[in-house]
Amino acid sequence: MSEFNQLNLVSSLRTAIQQAGFQAPTPIQSQAIPHLLDGHDLLGIAQTGTGKTAAFVLPILNRLISQPRRPRAGETTVLILTPTRELASQIGATIEAFSATLPIRHTVIFGGVGQYLQAKAMSRGVHILVATPGRLLDLINQGIVRLASLQVFVLDEADRMLDMGFIHDIRRVIALLPADRQTLLFSATMPPEVEELTKGILRDPVRVEVTPQSTTVEKVDQKVLFVNKENKRALLKKILEQQDIQRALVFTRTKHGADRVTEHLEKNAIPAMAIHGNKSQSAREKSLELFRNGEVRVLVATDIAARGIDVAHISHVINFDLPNEPESYVHRIGRTARAGNDGQAISFCDASESPYLRDIERIIRQKVPVDRDHRYHCEIAAGMFPEPQRGPSSARRQAPTPTRSAAPAKGRRPPPVVARHAEQTARPQGQRNKAPRVSGG
């Protein structure tokens, strides 16, 4: 008996949940859904991978089924705002999965593609509109989308939205919403700007905060393999030939590196696809689709391209190159231990990358076990690893800038949470989604 049955959802949804293969609700789901069904506003604070999408999609669908209503032309009953088109598409896919057999219309709109089909979908009106802020405002200004009859507003990834410079767009959208509505705001972190935003838009909200037990680095089985740079591709091939690797996300530092690794695997009869900023939107979506449905079990990505991609059940994350920002490591390996699954992270480290490994071990506050049991092991690098502790040992820290040395010591941070602040590194400030381009590199 699944705990989902205790959530008071209509039976058609319970069937859909079962078909989606969800056995039990995640903590944010079991805590948020009852309040949302009661019509409360909600402030949901939970990290990436904790199952926020179903936490809002299920009660929304429940409401739409129990109070059926024909949307009017150009209007929507529910608006879900999210920062990137990848996230918008994923939310759309979740809605699709849970509502496939229900008389509920939804559509997804984002920038960077033609607006014709989006306008066409809106012309009949929808029950649920998933949108990125820039394109939404475009369509509103053209009179294609109207928010007059909206009942539920969801702001997803609020911290990231503000980070990407969407605050003014968000405020513009909010100004157009009917005052009498249910509002949900989700955020991984609560910086003061988000706190401020919640004050203006939430009415007496229930606050649900989920501690990310299942997504800490401890959940991931990590190891590092020392290898000479020139042997990395051969080592990767050897590893990927093992059958227990169901779905592997391979990270390279550069776009060019991602292409070269992919070509090498393809040449060796290991189907793989690369995803990075030089690929077109449709190529990226195609690769993701093949990876998601299991036709291709290896996806090679750069950090920025991988951001926001949500694929369940990645069994392995392989760091072909170690990232020079240690936070990226935390973010990368978090891809494999989502929603309670365990995962494995395998990192290649050549001699030039040893400072990066030391930085990583410092922020995760543990040593990554070395696996010497492979044919390309090179002991040269091993001697370069003293206990990861104080001292200006890394390349990055040899020339500290005044601001950097004035910053609080890294060692005093709490143990990191996978995929938390990492998402914010290297993101261009003020980026708009008029032409959102993932610029892998």
- Contact residues: ligand ADP, CB under 6 A: 22, 25-26, 29, 46, 48-54, 310, 312, 338-339
Closest CA to 325 of 273, 274, 380, 362: 362
Paired tokens of 231? 């042997």
Partner from Mg ion, ligand ADP, none binding residue 26, C-beta < 5-8 Å depending on class: ligand ADP
Paired tokens of 432? 């708009």
C-beta of 381 vs 422, nearer to ligand ADP: 422
d(CA 246, CA 250): 13
Report in angstroms how near the CB of residue 292 gets to ligand ADP at its nearest.
Answer: 9
Report in angstroms how near the CB of residue 19 gets to ligand ADP at its nearest.
Answer: 12
Q: How far apart are the first and last CA of the chain?
A: 47
d(CA 399, CA 409): 16
Site for Mg ion in 32-91 (CB under 5 A): 52
Report in angstroms how near the CB of residue 188 gets to ligand ADP at its nearest.
Answer: 8
C-beta of 52 vs 255, nearer to ligand ADP: 52
Report in angstroms how near the CB of residue 186 gets to Mg ion at its nearest.
Answer: 7
d(CA 200, CA 182): 13
Site membership for Mg ion, residue 255 (CB under 5 A) = no
**Spatial contact of 281 and 437, defined as CB atoms under 8 Å apart:** no
**Spatial contact of 50 and 135, defined as CB atoms under 8 Å apart:** no
**C-alpha distance from residue 252 to each of 290, 299, 344 (Å):** 20, 11, 17
C-beta of 53 vs 336, nearer to ligand ADP: 53
Report in angstroms how near the CB of residue 108 gets to ligand ADP at its nearest.
Answer: 15
C-beta of 52 vs 255, nearer to Mg ion: 52
C-beta of 381 vs 418, nearer to ligand ADP: 418
d(CA 138, CA 141): 5
As a whole number of Å, the CA-based R_g of the chain is: 23
Report in angstroms how near the CB of residue 58 gets to ligand ADP at its nearest.
Answer: 10
C-beta of 215 vs 344, nearer to ligand ADP: 215
Residues that bind Mg ion (CB under 5 A): 52
